[in-house]
Amino acid sequence: MRSVGHLIPCRHAGPQQFWKDFKKITRGDLPVGVRENIAYISTDPRDSLAFGSPLQVLSAACMFAATGRSGAGFSPRELAAEMGIETLLNQPIRTLSGGESVKLALAKALAVSGTSSKLVVSSPFSWLSQSNRIFFDRALDSYHQQQVPTEILALEGEDDLAPIQSEPFRRGDVAKPTFCLVFAGARLAIGSPVNAVSDEQLYARVADFNGKLVSPCLLAGENGQGKSLLAKSLTGAVTVRGRAVIKSSRVTGRARLLFQDVITQTLLRSFNQIVSSVKAHRRDRTEKVYQKLYRACETQPGDSGAGSAARPRTLFEIKLILIAVRLAERPPALILDEPDWGLSRPDAISLVTAAISTAHGLDVPVILISHKPWWQPIVGSILNVKKVPLNAGDGPFEIRLEQV
């Protein structure tokens, strides 16, 4: 926020803090970040993506860049090819994966590199898989070549590619639940069309799969392979034709999900508002599960009591309470989508291991979605996820699962 002139309000500490930050943007003269043409990619890359599709975002960036430099510069399609997103140009922004959104934001930053006074990038390694880090390097090189200052803000260990140590997790470990994952004739809606009147609703296919898995199960794959779309299909967050079912030893039904974009999932609610939204008959159980999660954390996220004006609730605590709300229902499975987002490596490990041990204590299987190699030593099973393009008329693509 300070680096770009307070253009990005805080969204995880409730509406009061959000509007307090928002006033800093609207008060007085044009904000510094706008006046000085600072290019930025925030912790949530969608903060700088204001249009409906990648083509619209890149077209606007190219038009802006053309007003400040001699020569034609990049075209939108050249930028897309440079960042490996040429097949996504007409896809709605809201359907892009986290990694795809970062690559689009990098393409936009690349377009305006000749007209910017500075580039600020926050937590780029939380979103990009190892093979996609080359696109971050390309954007950075462009700014270096033009001698434009760059500022990279990173959380401790977010760029670390070493697997975690499994020994701390194994202490006091309980039996690992098993579950069945079934996809049969499944077609998953890919968001809603940009033009709701003339555009057709698109459905991605999922290759039939029926497997018995051990918790925690890791859904692994590169950026944009459909991991989050699969998770949303299993929780009822997207329209599904056919079957997408999880069967645990206790119950069959919809799993519960902690979004990768957890800020959006809070709906701008504070910690206490999230607790208050829980149905009365389940509130005591939720608070007990939260306390179990809190005690299971290797790193302490803060005071376990009520937050205060002096110490607002942290993102760590927001994630803990969202997990507690979901575990209190004892669903067929709990899905954690890129749970390290917004956390340092030590805190991410603490959160994930606490969630797994608490869920297992409630006989709830856990599905972990990540492109990072951190989690492999502690998982009970692995599913590789791969997106395969289809011929015209068969749908945009098919998602295939391979059990390792």
Does the fold of domain 167-403 match that of domain 37-153?
Answer: yes
For residue 135, the model assigns a pLDDT of: 95
Half-sphere exposure of 153 (CA within 13 A, CB side): 15
For residue 303, the model assigns a pLDDT of: 47
Long-range contacts of 386-391 (CB under 8 A, 24+ apart): 386/221, 386/225, 387/224, 387/225, 387/226, 389/87, 390/205
Helices (H), 87-132: 98-111
pLDDT digits (tens, 9 = 90+) for 225-257: 999 999 999 999 999 999 999 999 999 999 999
pLDDT digits (tens, 9 = 90+) for 153-181: 999 999 999 999 876 555 455 789 999 99
For residue 69, the model assigns a pLDDT of: 59
For residue 307, the model assigns a pLDDT of: 46
71 confidence band (pLDDT: 50, 70, 90)? very low
For residue 308, the model assigns a pLDDT of: 45
Q: Which of residues 377 and 260 earns the better pLDDT score?
A: 377
Sequence-distant (≥ 6) Cβ neighbours of residue 236 within 8 angstroms: 254
For residue 172, the model assigns a pLDDT of: 52
For residue 311, the model assigns a pLDDT of: 66
Q: Where are the domains of the chain?
A: 37-153, 167-403
- Could you tell me the two tokens for 259? 């979004």
Which is it for the CA torsion 51, 205, 234, 239, positive or negative? positive
pLDDT digits (tens, 9 = 90+) for 301-318: 654 444 445 567 889 999
What is the value of pTM for the model shown? Answer: 0.88
pLDDT digits (tens, 9 = 90+) for 49-62: 999 999 999 999 99
Cα end-to-end span (Å), the chain: 42
Nearest to 164 by CA among 326, 339, 322, 289: 339
CA dist., res. 330 & res. 362, Å (int): 7
CATH topology of domain 37-153: Rossmann fold (3.40.50)
Query: What is the homologous superfamily of the domain 167-403 according to CATH?
Result: P-loop containing nucleotide triphosphate hydrolases (3.40.50.300)
CA dist., res. 153 & res. 314, Å (int): 18
Mean pLDDT over the full length of the chain: 88
- Could you tell me the two tokens for 128? 């990009």
CA dist., res. 287 & res. 321, Å (int): 8
126 confidence band (pLDDT: 50, 70, 90)? confident
